[in-house]
Amino acid sequence: MDTSLSNRYQNLLNRLPEHICLIAVSKTFPADDIQALYDLGQRHFGENYIQEWQEKVFRLPESIIWHIIGDIQSNKTRVVAENAHWVHTLAREKIAERLSQQRPENKPPIEVCVEVNISGETQKHGLAVGEVFEFCQYIKTLPQLNLRGLMAVPSDADEITVRQQMQKMRELFVSLNNQGLKLDTLSMGMSGDWQWAVEYGATHIRIGSALFGQRNYAQK
Ligand SMILES: *Cc1c(COP(=O)(O)O)cnc(C)c1O
């Protein structure tokens, strides 16, 4: 057992308000690390790369709750529909439609969030703020998806900039609820900024390196 993993986990739990759902982001880390955190009681895990996730998932306990937090290509929707519990990154109708169609009927709908490109950076995934309401209305027509809320990855920037983006996410979340959408999830906050995210109403934080350590993409 890696005692530093256990220490980092306990530390984080001690600082985390009880109502916040911690998603342990395990991309690039081996199934053994996931199992170690599972053995400490962690149940929610996040993965970005579908292929990598598939190589790990069958060796791990079935009671893990899997959150897909990376972009999904259309040729990967089936494995996601069959094995994931949550998708945080919906932003394209075609992907949403495929996920709903391919979700097995004996499983509950996939819990989904719409990804918002809150920084407006062109290389980032997600919808512009002005597109979100209409897209949410569309998601609600799909029987095997359950719209839960919004997700964002703010800029890797200074505190003021990141806080402004988180504030905008909060305002969008409130405004959509005022327009009649029943959203209960704001997925926002990573290792470097989760405490601010909690201030702006995040309900789910996605923590990778602060738990598992530095990622080494080359060794993946
Ligand atoms: C990798 C990743 C995280 C975790 O990032 P850390 O900074 O390591 O905590 C969270 N969200 C998304 C979308 C990611 O891709």
pLDDT digits (tens, 9 = 90+) for 109-125: 999 999 999 999 999 99
Residue 179 alpha carbon to ligand 1 centre in Å: 30
Above 50 in pLDDT, residue 220?
no
pLDDT of residue 217: 75
pLDDT of residue 1: 57
Q: Delimit the domains of the chain by residue range.
A: 20-219
Q: Which of the listed residues 190, 193, 217 should we mutate to test ligand 1's pocket, taking the one with most ligand atoms within 8 A of CB?
A: 190
Domain 20-219 superfamily per CATH:
Alanine racemase (3.20.20.10)
pLDDT tens digits, one per residue of 2-32: 679 999 999 999 999 999 999 999 999 999 9
Instruction: Phi first, then psi: give them for residue 21, nearest 5 degrees.
Output: -90, 120
| Ligand 1 atom with minimal separation from the 206 CA | 10
Residue of the CA atom closest to atom 7 of ligand 1:
191
| Residue 17 DSSP label | -
Buried b (16+ CB within 10 A) or exposed e, 26-63: bbbbeeebbebbbeeebebbbbbebebbeebbeebeee
